[in-house]
Structure 1
Amino acid sequence: MKDRTGPRGLLRQLRLAWRSCWAAAPWIWAGHLPLAVTAGLVPMATAWLTKLLVDALAEGRQSAAVQAATGLLVVGLLSGVLPQLTQFLGNELRRRMDWFLRDRLHSVVGRFQGLSRFEDPRLIDRLRMAAQTTGETLMPVTGSMADMGRNIIALLSLLATLLVLSPVMAVVVLIAAVPVLVAELWLSRKRVNMVAATSAGIRKELFYSALITEESAAKEVRLFGLGDFLKGRMLRELHTIQRAERRLDRRDAAVQSGLAALSALVAGAGLIWTVQAAAAGRQTPGDIVAFVAAVAGVQAALIGLVGNIGLAHQALLMFSYHTSVIELPDDVAPRDGGVRGEGPLPALRRGIELRDVWFRYDESHPWVLRGVNLFIPAGSSVALVGLNGAGKSTLIKLLCRFYDPDRGSISWDGDDLRDVPPAQLRERMGVLFQDYMNYDLTAAENIGIGALDLLDDRAKVTEAARLAGAHELVDGLPQGYDTMLSRIFFADGEDAEETPGVVLSGGQWQRLALARTLLRQDRDLLILDEPSAGLDARAEYEIHARLRAHRAGTTSLLVSHRLSAVREADTIVVLEEGRITEQGSHAELMARAGSYAQLFTVQAQGYQEVGSSAGGSAEEGSTESSSAA
């Protein structure tokens, strides 16, 4: 960030901010200019017209006094109207800038194709700072530029007046403004640094607060009595944040008090001087009035201008976080010189191949995948099994190109995935992740977002629900497919009291997530990561029976800890500590009597023991589960 906060960096941020402002609302921004010029001339006009009025009255020139009073009337009208016009334009500019900045930031973040950016705490803090750069925070360098322009024009015009009346006093007032400017720039940098330093603490404070107040954690918080524990963590972070704010506030108060005292001393010295000059006959009563107004006006304009500069400096420092995010390169960009060719990714014909794939999430972490070699033929079903931490989910993330391998390659019909735009690749896939999302949307939307082009195609949505065994569940909800699956929101256009949201069980949510995946029925690659982990034995049997029929002739990768669900796959691949140790059909692996056979035997014995100890109904469930493949 240092290159963005130096003098050259801030000038560049200013250009980018003005360019953004022009892109968001060009004519509204331009409309500030004439208002700023007019408003800037008002203090000077007031000072001179007041002088003319006082001198005309003192000398008995009634006509001149009336003219001066008329001029003050016009200036007074302008003083009343111009701030309202400026505020109106400023508010509209703020709204349009807010829209523009939010749209650009979220568009850029939405284009991040990988996952590494969302796993970097430093970038998360930078994103949070960037999200705070809104139309409101940028006003000092956009809408408030009119205010700065007004202060500059007022300052120059009043300085000209002060130079005529007392050149020495004009120089003294300008010199007194230097420490004010230095202090404001110092304080503005301290404010931004404080916000950046407390960003992680604010995230933690919000996290603990959410655990206490949100439904997702309510059961365990109450079961384990975590309320006071989490509250203590939350208040500890809040105390740290407030301590930093309090320290900055003390500095701010001390500096501002000193600057105010300096301003009062300068103004008081000027007043004593002009009174002595008037007593000596060197100035008229009108000169005294004009001098006092000019000194006060110059100081006010200087304080306002210095404040404008300080706020603009702070706004540009905040804006630098916004630009640092929107200028980030693609996190899964194509390789240098790697070009797959024009047009969309063709349908899978031969297969997907992993060659000597090595991967770890960070250089400080151990390898998750170690020299994996695997070929997934087109039209075949491959099952991936292994203990927790073996690398199964990581391999899926690489196939989806959320990450690129550190070594080796993954190819689609010979095309290296690093040469394929991620959006094209993912358009050819249907994927159910083990950690699938539950959306606070309607049941139909929870399924339909799996293929946005089919979101409003109720027939396709219903078909996917039937395939996932979710149709009866959804059809039985209070509003069927239009039921809101949330206790936070209500369906659009519905009476909140008559249409309460519905909360599903874990297994029911899994059926909807599966339906969301199966909505992409025409994709080339189907990846299912633990598709039945939350289901009971009967539901698991029904789901896998449907999936076997659906996967017939489709290239598919199935991950499951329940080995009975994978036994009919064309190829079963065993991962152990990031390496493939076995692969083959169920019969081949059982005959080999390796780790797969041992795991399968242990699971089968577990079912048999449960069946023999629980009686006939359990035996039926055991048979059902064992035959699920």
Structure 2
Amino acid sequence: MTADAPRRRLRRSFGAAMRLGWQASPGLMLASAGLMAVASALPVAAAWASKLLVDGLAAGAVSSSRLSLLVAAVVGLGGIALLLNHLGGLAAAAQQRAITIQAEGRLYAAINAFPGLRRFEDPAFRDRIQHAERSAQVAPRAVTDLAFSLVRTVVTIGSFLAVVVAVWWPMALLLAAAAVPAVCTQATLARRKARTSEATMAQSRRRLQYQMLLTDLQAIKEIRLFGLGVLFQQRIAAALAETSRRELRTERGAALVQVALTLFGVVVTVAGAVVVVTQAAAGRLSAGDVLLFIAALGGVQAAFGGSVVQLASVGAVLYLFEHYLEVLAARPDLADGQAVPGPLRGAIVFEDVWFRYSEQADWALRGVSLRIEAGVATGLVGVNGAGKSTVVKLLCRLYDPDRGRITWDGVDLRDLRLAELRSRLGVAFQDHMTYELSAAENIGVGSVAHLADRDRIVGAAARAGADEPIAALPRGYDTMLTRLFSMDGPGDSGVMLSGGQAQRVALARSFMRDEAELFIHDEPSSALDALAANRVHEELEALRGDRAAVVISHRLAAMRTVGRIVVLDAGAVVEQGTHDELMSAGGAYARMFTAQAAGYQDERVDGPARGREGIAHGMATMGHGAGVPGVVHQWVQR
């Protein structure tokens, strides 16, 4: 980085923040600046009236009416200045609110424009986003505050300097000599503060994470059970101590510099005041001149000192505002295509797909080739970490393959419009969300266009088996599914669903898109009881119809109803076929299925008949959805 780079960065950030303030509300910005400019000129006029008043009293030759007029001018000008400052502050406050709305709106629009997940998995970029969030709230407002302050300073100093020059012109040179090093030093301090903030961001984010865990409803159970509160509290304290140590070191250096600058300013002021008083004692200046000079010095120092201190704080904010601009300028992590996907008539095909989450990570998928046929349910099977969820993420185009391609009826997914592609998917993730929204909205967000369609929401809930649990809630579908926010008061909060109920809501959310052409359900019944799982799988079968579907489930009995099973191991496809074909092959799928089925082989099971016949009847009655594999039925028949 060249020596001019920090200055260019500062100028770029200042200009961008000023443009943001202007675009937020040009009328309010002009009104604030105008009112403050006029208010800043009035103290100079009041000081001049004070000089005339003192000189008139000292001379004793001024009429009482003129003295009364001068007194009224001194008091009246001060009062008008206060009034204008108040009005200017009111306009500035309205401007700041407009700036906050504009800045945050642009930031979150930019964040929403990242179509994939890579940006959010990059720790450095997450730090940048956090800097951007902070500076979006602070920087544009601080810059406009500084701009208004500079308007006041320029008017005040310009007016008072004219007075200082008229009384004793060398004082202007002394003031300039004090001002130049102060400005340069504050700019340096601003850079140091910004660098300290950047260096401590990771610690601050880690501390924030621990703080959130200590109050998170999901985490609090284990925190209480395992006694993690003290551990996290200690880590919060350690992170805070580290950031405080660095910040204090920076603040200590800044304080020492400020003391030196202040002492130099005092010396300059005292020297000028002594010269002026000496000249007044010699009869070359009047008492009014002395009063005016001292008032001018005080005005110049107050205006300049306030702006310099403000410049230091704004400078640090501006260096961080660069992160805001970088987030706004960041390129999307996925390029959007131009083609509109047609109705899926053939298949979605993985062609030698390789993928890893970062260059340092192992391959999550290794040369995967498979077909997901329209009108066919495809099951993905494998141990944890085999790559099943990665296939789902690539199907949703949350990432792009590193090698190979995925096609939709022969068209590469990368060539399709992303929003159009995703609108054709109905997805329930394994790590589904329950939003701090009402039960109806938690389901309705599956198709935002139908968020207000209560009939559609209730229908989706019924298909997922969520209708009865939701109807039993205190406010039915209008119940908030959170305890973080009250509804009508502190005693009227929402509710937290059980794991199975929350999974049904997530399934209902995917059912909102009943026009989807590809349904993806990742462990759709993992949190459900046997009977509820059976019902869900029946609904999934009925919903699929002639559309494509991908089902992931560790309940391998669910695989008996799919048209094709793909077995993954260490990111590679090791087997493909129907349930019967894979069982006959005796490979990985057969071993997993048989191991799972062994848990149900018990001669003591009673049914309408006893022994093997009773077991067979019980297996057939419970069905595949209850997690009882059909192979057990075959076993008891032998």
Q: Is the TM value for this pair above 0.5? A: yes
Q: Distance in 2 between matches of 1:430 and 1:138?
A: 41
Q: Residue in 2 aligned with 1:37?
A: 37
The C-alpha deviation readout for 1:40-78, integer Å capped at 9, x for no partner, is 322332332222222122222324534433332332122
SS of the residue aligned with 2:236? helix
Helix, strand or coil at the partner of 1:114 = coil
Shift in Å at residue 526 of structure 1?
A: 0.2
CA–CA distance in 2 between the matches of 1:570 and 1:160? 90
Q: Structure 2 length as normaliser, TM-score?
A: 0.92
Amino acid at match of 2:93: N
Match of 1:251 in 2: 253
Where do 1:20-419 residues align within 5 Å? Answer: 20-63=20-63, 64-334=66-336, 340-341=338-339, 344-419=340-415
1:8 matched to 2:1? The reply is no
Specify which of 557, 563, 582 is matched with residue 550 of structure 2.
Answer: 557
What is the alpha-carbon distance in structure 2 between the residues aligned to residue 66 and residue 60 of structure 1?
14
| Cα displacement string for residues 571-617 of structure 1 (whole angstroms, at most 9, x for unaligned residues) | 10011111111111111111111111111111111222xx4578779
**For the Cα contact (< 8 Å) 1:148–1:308, is it kept in 2?**
no
1:9-35 alpha-carbon deviations (Å, 9 max, x no partner): 322222222221122111000112322
Q: Which aligned pairs between 1:474-553 and structure 2 lie closer than 5 A?
A: 474-491=470-487, 494=488, 496-497=490-491, 499-553=492-546
Amino acid at match of 1:411: T
Structure 1 counterpart of 2:442: 446
8 Å CA contact 2:381–2:553 kept in 1: the answer is: yes
Tell me, yes or no, if the aligned pair for 1:390 and 1:578 is still in contact at 8 Å.
Answer: yes
Of 575, 594, 599, the match for 1:601: 594
Residue 413 (structure 1) shift: 1.4
Aligned-residue offset at 1:4: 11
5+ unaligned residues in a row in structure 1: which ranges? none
Aligned counterparts of 2:94 and 2:467: Cα–Cα separation in 1? 48
Amino acid at match of 2:413: L
Measure, in 1, the Cα distance between the counterparts of 2:604 and 2:167: 106
Contact 1:545 1:628 in 2 (8 A): no
1:321–1:565: structure 2 CA closer, same or farther, 3 Å change rule?
Answer: same
Pick closer, same or farther for the CA change 1:249–1:11 going to 2, 3 Å: closer
Alpha carbons 2:32, 2:88 under 8 Å: kept: yes
Deviates further, 420-429 or 208-217? 208-217
Correspondence for 2:611 = none
User: Within 2, Cα distance between the matches of 1:195 and 1:236?
Assistant: 17
Distance in 2 between residues matched to 1:5 and 1:424, nearest whole Å: 43
Q: Confirm or deny: 8 A CA contact 1:201 1:237 kept in the other structure.
A: yes
Q: Matched residues in 1 for 2:327 and 2:564: separation?
A: 44
User: What's the CA shift for 1:479?
Assistant: 2.0
Q: Is the 8 A contact 2:107 2:133 kept in 1?
A: yes
For 1:269-291, what per-residue CA distance to the aligned partner results, in whole angstroms no more than 9, with x for missing partners?
A: 12221222222222221221122
Amino acid of the structure 2 residue aligned with 1:382: T
What displacement does 1:212 show? Answer: 1.9
Is the alpha carbon distance of 1:309 and 1:234 closer, same or farther for their aligned partners in structure 2, counting shifts above 3 Å? closer
The residue type equivalent to 2:434 in the other structure is N
Q: Say whether the 8 Å CA contact 1:137–1:315 is kept in structure 2.
A: yes
Deviation, 1:157, is 1.8
Q: 2:464 aligns with which of 461, 468, 471?
A: 468
Residue number in structure 2 paired with 1:429: 425
- SS for the counterpart of 1:6 is helix
Deviation per CA, 1:205-256: give whole Å up to 9, x if none: 1221222222211211111111211111111112112222322332232222
User: 8 Å contact 2:146–2:311 — kept in the other structure?
Assistant: no
Write the distance in 1 (CA, Å) between the matches of 2:138 and 2:207: 24
Name the amino acid aligned to 2:167. L
The corresponding residue for 1:455 is 451
C-alpha distance in structure 2 between counterparts of 1:420 and 1:5, whole Å: 41
5+ residue gaps, structure 2? 609-613, 631-638
Compared CA separation, residues 280 and 616, structure 1 to 2 (3 A): farther
2:579 pairs with 1:586? yes
What count of residue pairs does the alignment treat as equivalent?
Answer: 618
For 1:380 and 1:621, locate their aligned partners in 2 and report how far apart those are by CA, in whole Å.
Answer: 26
Q: How many Å apart are 1:530 and its aligned residue? A: 0.5
Q: Give distance in 2, aligned partners of 1:503 and 1:626.
A: 27
Q: Which residue of 1 aligns with 2:634?
A: none
Structure 1 residues 549 and 140, CA gap change in structure 2 (3 angstroms): closer
> Which AA in structure 1 matches 2:251?
D
Residue matched to 2:565: 572
Distance 1:95 1:43, change over 3 A: same
Q: For residues 239 and 119 of structure 2, what CA distance do their matches in structure 1 show?
A: 25
Residues 33, 88 of structure 2: 8 Å contact kept: no
Q: Distance in 2 between matches of 1:483 and 1:614?
A: 42
Give CA deviations for 1:322-370 in whole Å, capped at 9, x if unaligned. 1111111111014xxxx644xx432211121111111111111111111
Give, in whole Å, the separation in 1 of the partners of 2:490 and 2:269.
62
**Residues of 1 paired with 2:210 and 2:534: CA distance?**
40
Q: What amino acid is aligned across from residue 452 of structure 1 in structure 2?
A: V
SS in 1 for 2:135: coil
Of stretches 564-573 and 276-285 in structure 1, the one that deviates more from structure 2 is: 276-285
Work out the CA distance in 2 between the residues paired with 1:473 and 1:364. 45
Distance 1:135 1:465 in 2: 40
SS at match of 1:456: coil
Query: Secondary structure of the residue that 1:113 maps to in structure 2?
Result: coil
Query: Does the CA-based 8 Å contact 1:94-1:135 persist in structure 2?
Result: no
Is residue 96–residue 135 contact of structure 1 (8 Å, CA) maintained in 2? Answer: no
Residues in 1 aligned to 2:174 and 2:41: alpha-carbon distance in whole angstroms: 22
CA distance in 1, matches of 2:317, 2:338: 43
**C-alpha RMSD of the superposition:** 2.3
Give the distance between the partners of 2:136 and 2:442, measured in 1 at CA.
31
**Given the two structures, how large is their TM-score scaled by the length of structure 1?**
0.93
SS for the counterpart of 2:120 is helix
Q: Which moved more, 1:46-55 or 1:146-155?
A: 46-55
For 1:596 and 1:194, locate their aligned partners in 2 and report how far apart those are by CA, in whole Å.
Answer: 55
Contact 2:440–2:457 (8 Å) recurs in 1: yes
CA contact (8 A) 1:32 1:143 kept: no
Distance 2:450 2:580 in 1: 41
- The answer (yes or no) to whether the contact 2:523–2:554 under 8 Å persists in 1 is yes
Contact 1:447 1:512 in 2 (8 A): yes
**Percent same amino acid at aligned positions?**
41
- Give SS of 2:397's match: coil
> Per the alignment, in what secondary structure is the counterpart of residue 133 of structure 1?
helix
More off after superposition, 537-546 vs 382-391:
537-546
Change (3 A) 1:479 1:621: farther
Judged with a 3 Å threshold, the aligned counterparts in structure 2 of structure 1 residues 615 and 131 are, in CA distance, closer, same or farther, namely: farther
Separation in 2, partners of 1:170, 1:615: 105
The structure-2 alpha-carbon separation of the partners of 1:301 and 1:22, relative to structure 1 and needing over 3 Å to count, comes to same
Distance 2:362 2:113 in 1: 29
* Structure 1 pair 5–107 and aligned structure 2 pair: CA distance change class (3 A): farther
